[in-house]
Amino acid sequence: MSRYLSRVILVLFSCHCVQSWATDCLYPDISLGTQSAVDSFQVAYGNGGICDRVAGTLNVSGEDITNLDGLADLVSIGGRLEILDNNLLTNIIGLENLTSVGTSLLIRRNAALTNIDGLASLANTGELLAITYNAVLADIDGLAELSSVGVALDIGNNPMLNNIDGLRKITGIADTLRIRHNDSLDNVDGLMNLTSVGGYFHLYENVSLSNIDGLANLSSIGEELEIRSNASLESFDALGKLTSVGTDLLIIGNDSITNINGLANLAHVGMDLIIGANDALANINGMANLGGVGKDVSISGNGALTSIDGMLGFKSIAGDMRVTANQSLTNIDGLAGLVSVAGDLRISENPALSDIDGLVNLGNVGDYLWIYDNDSLTNINGLTNLTHTGSLMIHFNDVLTHIDGLSKLTGLSGDLGSGALSIIANDSLTNIDGLANLAGAVNTLGITDNKALANVDGLMKLTRTRNLDIEGNALLTDIDGLVNLAGEVAVLRIHDNDILANIDGLANLSSVETDLEIIGNTSLANVDGLSSFARVNQFLKVQMNGSLAQCNGLLRLLDEWDDAAPGPGPGESGVPDVGMTVHMEGNLSGCNSIDEVLEDVNTSRINAGLNDAWFNPDTDGQGFFISVFPDIGAASLAWFTYDTELPPLDAQANLGDAGHRWLTAVGPIVENQVLMDIEMTSGGLFDTPTDIQRTDPPGSDGTIVLTFTSCNSGTIEYDIPSINRQGSVAIQRVAGDNIALCEVLGAD
């Protein structure tokens, strides 16, 4: 008996000793790059025995590695397990004792790997499980014991993978689940026990996937659900338990889907809803239980979609709303409950859409309202309750004849910093009277390429704009509807309006911050509507207007006498009120150059508005008093100056400086000059009657030619023989109070 007991004790001791040698591998991070390194794993890293745990990362990546048998004793990996780029590896049987991976398990780009049965004991991974780019991997049955993936699961680009049944024990994913680019995968039955995804669920570009029945128990997704480009997928019916998507729901490019009825219980989408490019999708009635979304909605590019009735519960959109490029969509009655859109609303490129009556309850659009390229749209009466939008863009609606549905629209964004009104290329549009109640300011106003538009009378209540473009409206005869626009614009373009006869509607505008362009208006006879413009900061272009012969409307810009204040120029054309170049050509005679415009202008503009104190800033303490006497055709000048040399230091004067001098001159007005004789007087005393000696004969003390180039500038050319001095002094007013009077008198 004692002998038997001794043997048992010896065996137990021996077992205990062997077990005590099993420990962590020698290094926390290990890389195996050859088959030899795999085979000698325990010799190299066993730490004197058999190691069963790698504390950090184990990387297996080598061109000649065919098996992992040398890793058979491993039970756990504390960090990452990477099986990468092993082109000869057909299986991973050597990992059959591995039960856990602390962070990530990556199986990537193993060209010959057919299965992962060697992971049959794996129960959990701490963070990421990624099985990607394995060219001949047919199944992942080796994960049958896997019950927990800590953060994310990625199954992608495995072209021969036909099922994911090995995931049957997975009930939840903490963050991301991605199943993508698996060309042979025809079902996701392996996810039959999945109830939730905490973050993102992406199911895309699995071309053979015909059903998603394996998602029958999925009830919530914490962030985004994307089902995209699964060409064979025919039904969403398995999603009947799904009630919530935390952020975005994207259903895109699933060519065989005819309906989304499987989403009938979906009650919450936290951010964006995007349903796009699903060629066979006929309706979205499955959205009926969804009363709205957190931000944007886009229904776009669904070729067979005839209605959007599934959106009847939507009352407001917190972001943008787009219904675009749905080839068969005939109505948008499903939006009948919609009252407001906080961002953009775009109804565009729906060729079968004949009306937008479904917007009948819409009152406000916060940013841009686009009605764009709807070939069959004849009216926009559905906007009858719209009172405000940030900007309005009506473009390329070929059979739209009127916009009377906008009759309640009273304002855009309301300041010059934002808000645009753009009516472009609506071939059948004859009037824009529907905008008759639109008042106030818009940043950009563009009326362009509307072939049947005869007038812009609907814009009578607009008072300000920054950018004005009236271009290519073949039947537009006048722009009188702009008559209440006032102040400065940044850009003004009137181009290619074939029968536009006048631009009188611009009469209350005053200046242009950059360019003013009147180009290619073949019937335009005059530019009188520009007569109030005081300056153009950059280019003035009046070109190719074949009937234009009367350009008096440009006089205030081109004639220097109308320069009420220093202009932005003179630019290259020498015009003070035009900052850069004046381009005038291709018009009738009288409008092809500055000289032609000014040819018949009276240059004798000297008038009583020039009566003032004048000076040259370079000669401090000196100046001129000028008086004009229009009734007698003469003017006088008093010049307050100094002697040609400083007086001696001991020179005395009872009053003022010994060097003070004044000259007086008088003479007749001859066109735009005054030809004066200088008169010097002597013999007088301060505030005392005395006999004064005057120049004799008159003119012998010299002459002055006084020339005015504008109401605020001139020159004094003097010739004083007694001191042998000749010269020229540029003068300007000391104060500008009388400039406006001068301009008025000069224009009479």
DSSP labels, 431-479: --GGGTT--EEEEEEEEE--TT----GGGTTEEEEEEEEEE--TT----
Q: Rounded CA gap, 410 and 387, in Å?
A: 6
Q: Does the predicted model carry a pTM greater than 0.85?
A: no
Ranking 93-107, 125-139, 632-646, 697-711 by mean pLDDT, the lowest is 697-711
Q: What is the pLDDT of residue 696?
A: 74
What is the pLDDT averaged over residues 395-419? 88
Label each residue of 286-349 as H, E or C: HHCCCCCCCCCEEEECCCCCCCCHHHCCCCEECCCEEEECCCCCCCCHHHCCCCEECCCEEEEC
DSSP secondary structure letters along 636-653: EEEEEEE-SSPPPTT---
Percentage of the chain exceeding pLDDT 90: 78
The better pLDDT of the pair 656, 412 is held by 412
Instruction: Tell me if 401 sits within 8 A of 426, measured CB to CB.
Output: no
Q: Rounded CA gap, 334 and 313, in Å?
A: 8
Ranking 44-53, 159-168, 209-218 by mean pLDDT, the lowest is 44-53
How would residue 449 be classed by pLDDT, with cut points 50, 70 and 90?
very high
Instruction: Tell me if 679 sits within 8 A of 699, measured CB to CB.
Output: no
What is the pLDDT averaged over residues 429-434? 98
Q: Rounded CA gap, 183 and 205, in Å?
A: 8
Neighbours of 18 (CB within 10 A): 11
Q: What are phi and psi of 495, to 5 degrees?
A: -125, 135
Q: Rounded CA gap, 650 and 522, in Å?
A: 78
Q: Rounded CA gap, 539 and 578, in Å?
A: 7
Neighbours of 574 (CB within 10 A): 11
Residue pLDDT, tens place only, 499-557 = 999 999 999 999 999 999 999 999 999 999 999 999 999 999 999 999 999 999 998 89
Q: Which of 162, 170, 171 shows the shortest CA–CA distance to 145? A: 170
Residue pLDDT, tens place only, 188-213 = 999 999 999 999 999 999 999 999 99
Q: What is the pLDDT of residue 2?
A: 42
Peptide bond before residue 697 is cis, with ω within 30 degrees of 0: yes
3 state SS of 530: helix
Beta-carbon contacts of 135 under 8 Å, excluding residues fewer than 6 positions away, are 111, 112, 158, 159, 160
Instruction: Tell me if 127 sits within 8 A of 106, measured CB to CB.
Output: no
Residue pLDDT, tens place only, 304-314 = 999 999 999 99
Beta-carbon contacts of 684 under 8 Å, excluding residues fewer than 6 positions away, are 690, 692
What is the pLDDT averaged over residues 286-300? 95
DSSP secondary structure letters along 612-640: EEEE-TTSTT-EEEEEEEGGGTEEEEEEE
pLDDT over 90 (residue 279): yes
Percentage of the chain exceeding pLDDT 70: 94
CATH node for 17-170: 3.80.10
Instruction: Find the radius of gyration of the CA atoms of the chain.
Output: 44
Q: Which of 736, 734, 739 shows the shortest CA–CA distance to 623? A: 734
Beta-carbon contacts of 15 under 8 Å, excluding residues fewer than 6 positions away, are none
What is the pLDDT averaged over residues 438-453? 96
Which amino acid does the sequence have at 101?
V
Whole-number mean pLDDT of the chain?
Answer: 91
Residue 699 φ/ψ region, left for φ over 0, alpha for ψ in the -120 to 50 degree band, beta for the rest: left
Neighbours of 638 (CB within 10 A): 15
Which amino acid does the sequence have at 719?
D
Neighbours of 532 (CB within 10 A): 15
Ranking 45-54, 323-332, 396-405, 478-487 by mean pLDDT, the lowest is 45-54
Beta-carbon contacts of 268 under 8 Å, excluding residues fewer than 6 positions away, are 243, 244, 245, 290
Beta-carbon contacts of 103 under 8 Å, excluding residues fewer than 6 positions away, are 79, 80, 125, 126, 127, 128, 150
Q: Which of 721, 676, 669 shows the shortest CA–CA distance to 703? A: 676
Our separate counts of H helices and E strands in the chain read 6, 47
What is the pLDDT averaged over residues 370-376? 97
Cα→Cα distances 740→201, 386, 657, 743, Å: 73, 46, 37, 5
3 state SS of 49: coil
How would residue 466 be classed by pLDDT, with cut points 50, 70 and 90?
very high
What is the pLDDT averaged over residues 450-456? 97
Neighbours of 357 (CB within 10 A): 18
Beta-carbon contacts of 595 under 8 Å, excluding residues fewer than 6 positions away, are none
Which amino acid does the sequence have at 501?
A
First to last CA, the chain: 143
Q: What are phi and psi of 30, to 5 degrees?
A: -135, 135
Which amino acid does the sequence have at 45?
Y
pLDDT over 80 (residue 699): no
Q: Rounded CA gap, 431 and 401, in Å?
A: 8
Buried b (16+ CB within 10 A) or exposed e, 52-76: bbbbbbbbbbbeebebbbbbbbbeb
Q: Rounded CA gap, 668 and 352, in Å?
A: 80
Ranking 281-290, 295-304, 420-429, 710-719 by mean pLDDT, the lowest is 710-719
Neighbours of 712 (CB within 10 A): 24
- State how beta strands 540-543 and 345-348 pair: unpaired
Domain ranges for the chain: 17-170, 608-646+656-747
3 state SS of 180: strand
Q: Which own/partner pairs from 230-234 qualify as long-range (CB within 8 Å, at least 24 positions apart)?
A: 230/203, 230/204, 230/205, 230/206, 230/254, 231/207, 231/255, 231/256, 232/186, 232/207, 232/208, 232/256, 233/209, 233/257, 234/210, 234/258
Q: What is the pLDDT of residue 721?
A: 87
